Amino acid sequence: MPVSFEFFPPRDEISQKSLKKVREQLKALNPEYFSVTFGAGGSTQDATFETISAIQSEGFVPAAPHLSCIGSKKENIKSLLRDYINLGVKHIVALRGDIPSGVRDIGDFNHANELVTFIREEFNDHFSIMVAAYPEKHPEATSFRNDLENFVNKVKSGASQAITQYFYNPDAYFRFCDDVNSMGVNIPITPGIMPITNCKQLKRFSEMCGAEIPKWIIQRLESYGDDLESIRQFGYEVVDEMCLKLQSNGVKNFHFYSMNKTVPSFELAKNLV
CATH of residue 188's domain is 3.20.20.220
The confidence score (pLDDT) of residue 3 equals 98
The confidence score (pLDDT) of residue 44 equals 65
Q: Which amino acid is at 105?
A: D
- In this predicted structure, which of 35-39, 175-179, 183-187, 213-217 has the lowest mean pLDDT? 35-39
Give, to the nearest 10 degrees, the angle between helix 170-182 and helix 228-248.
Answer: 30
The confidence score (pLDDT) of residue 232 equals 96
Provide the pLDDT confidence category of residue 245 given band limits of 50, 70 and 90.
very high
**Residue range 146-152: mean pLDDT, rounded:** 96
Catalytic residues: 6
The confidence score (pLDDT) of residue 104 equals 62
Range of the domain at 196: 3-270
Provide the pLDDT confidence category of residue 256 given band limits of 50, 70 and 90.
very high
**Residue range 251-257: mean pLDDT, rounded:** 97
Distance of alpha carbon 72 from its chain centroid, rounded?
A: 20
Report the share of the chain in percent with pLDDT over 90: 84
Buried b (16+ CB within 10 A) or exposed e, 203-242: eebbeeeebebeeebbebbeebeeeeeebbebbbebbbeb
- What's the DSSP call for residue 260? T
- What's the DSSP call for residue 207? H
**Residue range 25-29: mean pLDDT, rounded:** 97
Q: How far apart are CA 217 and CA 117, in angstroms?
A: 40
The yes-or-no verdict on residue 161 having pLDDT over 70 is yes
- Domain tally, the chain: 1
Provide the pLDDT confidence category of residue 72 given band limits of 50, 70 and 90.
confident
Beta-carbon neighbour count of residue 17 at 10 Å?
11
**Residue range 232-241: mean pLDDT, rounded:** 97
**Residue range 216-226: mean pLDDT, rounded:** 95
The confidence score (pLDDT) of residue 273 equals 81
